[in-house]
Structure 1
Amino acid sequence: MANDIRQKRKRASDKVSVEIEDAGLSSDLSDIEDEFIPKTPKKKRKKKAGKESQTVSEAVKVDADEEAEGEVKKARRPRRPKPEPVYIIQDVERRDTKFRGRLGYACLNTILRNKKPASDAVFCSRTCRIDSIKKNGMDWVRELGRKNVQDLITMIQWNEDNNIRFLRLSSEMFPFASHPIYGYSLEYCSSLLAEAGALAKKYGHRLTTHPGQFTQLGSPKPGVIESSIRELEYHCQMLDFMGVGKDGVTIVHGGGVYDDKPGTIERIKTTIRDVLPQHVRERLVLENDELCYNADDLLPICEELDVPLVFDYHHDALKPSSIPPAAIIKRTNAIFARRGIRPKQHLSDPRPGAVTLMERRAHADRCERLPDELELEGIGIDIDLMIEAKDKEQAVLQLYRIYGLEEVKYESLRPPNENQTKETKGRKSNKKAKKGEQAMIDGVEGEGEDSVNVDEDNVEDGVGDMVHA
């Protein structure tokens, strides 16, 4: 490149000399000086001539540089799109199972979400802040919801193409829809929701929801109960417009204990029995958690009120019940059967190397095996298992490969992250809230205009994206 530029400078210099000669002028310029330039002392003339020579030289250099740069630009070609990387997919250890239910994942598909360019990314959790609504208006936030539903249709089709027929919908499908001030009806998007629901029904896919941890049915504050009911009604409205049947359940945890666990349990029962609208109660199921309410606490509520229990294996390992998992499953399956709802469970693993309770709560990228309880007679046939793992659809596809549950497309596989950490990541709320385990136990609540919620995708990690309540 340097040699090219030097050659171009020489050509430009020669060009200047030729142009001067063609004009009938001496390249020496001495005759011109004698006739047109006032006489000056010899030293000054030498100095001036030196400056003129320098100016001509610099001009030649600039012309040569511009010419060279122009030719380089002309030589440049548009960048070709990078080819898809070649993934090395290791084989897996094969195992047998009696399980014949469906495996699903929560909210986000990593392949679709990471498509390049970013404008091609597919995901159903576009959200915003209240300041953005104030600035852009309600039509703008409604459009976010519309785009989320359009991408949901794409996700459902991708799942069908890859034999995954169980999906948890993101609670951020319609940002702030349950807000006391900025909330709105989903009527405007009913036809698009119906299209998404019809596609899921056509393929036999199950769709469920899981509002965040700030949905507290046992709070001592009436305002929090009202906010929680609005949130549940929003999820039910979404499922209703999609035409989802009984299997489209809405899952909530027991919540905080508020320094009075027996009293809180009574408030939970009162809210479910006497306060929840009937259509909300018909979709409600409870789930055992790892800090406050295990199966010992929730099964009596569920059996008394005929509310199914979603059994979470990971939570039970962290906060064990006195009842063996197999017995818990049989008892809650009986409630599901009475209600005509297909049973549902949650499976996740702690991250490698996790020691403390807070570390062990965080989900691993994938699950290595199915629970032994699913091998028991009659248990693993009709249960749908939600895989709560960071690698989402990849965690499902890996279990498909391990147990031979479904055919897997090689091009849909991605290698696991070899450097999993015990740390968790997520956007922080701008609210000053209690953090960590004690916040969950005490019952952290969101109230008022800027109340917050946690995306159900990361609820069990306790570190999810903080959004509206």
Structure 2
Amino acid sequence: MIKNIGYACINTHLKPRTFNDCRLNSIYKYGINYLRDKIINNLYLVKDILLWNIKNDIYMYRVSSRLIPLVTHPDVINDFDWNWKEDDEILNIMKDISDIVKSYNIRLSMHPDQFTVLNSPNEKVVQNSIINIKYHYDILKRLSGNDMIIHTGGVYNDKKSASKRFIHVFNSLEDNLKSMIRLENDDKSFTVEDVLYISSKTHIPIVLDIHHHKCNNPNNIDIQNYISAIVNTWENTSLIPKLHISSGRDNKFDRKHSNYIDIQDLNYLLKLMNKYNFDMMVEAKQKDKSVLEIINILKDIP
């Protein structure tokens, strides 16, 4: 049974308001307040999105990874006498968001970008990835978030070695970081079987992306046979399993997301998970509109 349904980052109903990114040269040109203003805009937008979500019975949301841009960049750290963690205005808005999240039991997550690659053979890439994970953890902790979803990374012509590197790096992380990380199967490289193996060595909860599995299932496995194992990876957390759903834009194997979720894909996931409670993140181009459509569809399902 679906407990919560959510979407990622953008709320179409609140447009033209949008999240602001920032270029490094713009900070040097306009000063550190230029970056501050963008961060404050982004935080207020998250707050207003959450309030809109609550009014529409949506209690799950993914925060943009670019919420607080460039604050881990060494040039910003070294060249400007400013630290976002000591900025009262920023911290107060984050506290407001945290209070909303806790008051309404919202499941808040972040998804570090594609440059977060713990299994890279390049040590510098790994170290930068750990810095990025710490950045996401710090934000999520301050916002009372729950989940930091990552992918395994690259194969580098040797998936077995790449998996071993991921396991080694993950197991060396600080416990507080590990406690918030979730591992998602991807649409090209690491299958459900692969991430379940990694989970067996790391105890990372698995976020099943059902569309990724459809696109990346070289052994033609029946996912039904793995649902119990996936659910069990969450048993040492206080959370129910989290799944991702999307539909291919042009056909069912298209990796690009469609505007809305195909009703057949929704019905398939409901049947697959009929014995379990779970939260569902919708990955569709129409974001909140797609979630509202699913909520209306579910009202007619016993």
2:203 is equivalent to residue 306 of structure 1 = yes
What CA distance in whole angstroms lies between the structure 2 residues aligned with 1:376 and 1:257? 29
Q: In 2 relative to 1, CA 392–204 (structure 1 residues): closer, same or farther, beyond 3 Å?
A: same
Specify whether residues 198 and 265 from structure 1 end up closer, same or farther in structure 2 by C-alpha distance, changes over 3 A only. Answer: same
For residue 285 of structure 2, give the secondary structure of its aligned residue in structure 1: coil
In 1, the alpha carbon distance for the partners of 2:106 and 2:39 equals 21
- Rounded to whole Å, the distance in 1 between the matches of 2:226 and 2:110 is 22
Q: Deviations over 1:191-232 (max 9, x none)?
A: 211110111221221100101111101001111111111111
- In the superposition, relative to structure 1, how do residues 169 and 385 fare at CA in structure 2: closer, same or farther (>3 Å)? same
Aligned to 1:284: 181
1:383 counterpart residue number: 278
Partner of 2:164: 266
- Does the C-alpha gap of structure 1 residues 377 and 397 become closer, same or farther in structure 2, counting only changes over 3 Å? closer
Structure 2 unaligned residues grouped into runs of 5+: 78-82
Render the CA deviation track for 1:61-119: whole Å, top value 9, x for unaligned: xxxxxxxxxxxxxxxxxxxxxxxxxxxxxxxxxxxxxx3321110000011023xxxxx
RMSD: 1.9
Distance 1:260 1:181 in 2: 35
Partner residue, 1:412:
none
Aligned partner of 1:346 in structure 2 is 244
AA aligned opposite 2:268: D
Counterpart-to-counterpart distance in 2, 1:287 and 1:373: 16
Paired residues for 1:184-199 under 5 Å: 184-188=83-87, 189-199=90-100
1:329-365 per-residue CA deviation (whole Å, 9 max, x = no partner) reads 21121121222222100000001357xx6xx111000
2:6 to 99, 104, 108: 104
Structure number with bigger Rg: 1
User: What's 2:80 paired with?
Assistant: none
1:397 equivalenced with 2:292 (yes/no): yes
Count of equivalent residues: 291
- CA shift at 1:180, angstroms? 3.1
* Corresponding residue number in structure 2 for 1:237: 138
User: 1:186·1:237 contact (CA, 8 Å) conserved in 2?
Assistant: no
Q: What is the correspondence of 1:114-129 to structure 2 with a 5 Å cutoff?
A: 114=16, 121=17, 123=18, 125-129=19-23
Deviation digits for residues 394-451 of structure 1 (CA, Å, limit 9, x no counterpart): 1011111222179xxxxxxxxxxxxxxxxxxxxxxxxxxxxxxxxxxxxxxxxxxxxx
Q: What displacement does 1:378 show?
A: 5.4
**Distance in 1 between residues matched to 2:184 and 2:86, nearest whole Å:** 30
Contact 2:187 2:215 in 1 (8 A): yes
Contact kept in structure 2, 1:194 and 1:243, CA below 8 Å? no
State the distance in 2 between where 1:328 and 1:362 align: 25
Per-residue Cα deviation, 1:136-191 (whole angstroms, up to 9, x for no partner)? 22232122112211111111110011111110000111011232332554342222
Q: Equivalent residue of 1:193, what SS?
A: helix
C-alpha contact 1:171 1:210 (8 A) present in aligned 2: yes
Q: Distance in 2 between matches of 1:378 and 1:351?
A: 26
Paired letter, 2:73: H
| Distance change in 2, residues 1:365/1:296 (3 Å) | same
Alpha-carbon offset, residue 377 of structure 1: 6.8
Would you say the 8 A contact 2:2–2:280 is kept in 1? no
| Counterparts of 2:110 and 2:167, CA distance in 1 | 21
Q: Does 1:210 align with 2:114?
A: no
Partner of 2:215: 318
Structure 1 runs of 4+ off > 4 angstroms? none
Match in the other structure for 1:142: 36
Q: Mark the runs of 5 or more structure 1 residues left unpaired by the alignment.
A: 1-98, 115-120, 407-469
Q: What's the TM-score once normalised by structure 2's chain length?
A: 0.90
**Closer/same/farther in 2, CA of residues 400 and 243 from structure 1, 3 Å limit:** closer
Percentage of identical aligned residues: 30
Deviation of 1:255 after TM superposition, in Å, equals 1.3
Normalised TM-score (structure 1): 0.59
Deviation by residue 1:16-37 (Cα, 9 ceiling, x = unmatched): xxxxxxxxxxxxxxxxxxxxxx
CA-CA distance at 1:323 after TM superposition: 4.0
Counterpart in the other structure of 1:293: 190
Whole-angstrom distance in 2 between the partners of 1:307 and 1:215:
16
Output the amino acid matched with 1:109: N
- 2: CA distance, partners of 1:127 / 1:307: 31
Note if contact 1:190-1:242 (Cα within 8 Å) is conserved in structure 2: no
* Farther off after superposition, 168-177 or 189-198: 189-198
Whole-angstrom CA distance in 2 between matches of 1:302 and 1:257? 17
Deviations 1:236-267 (A, max 9, x none): 111111233xxx11011111111222111111
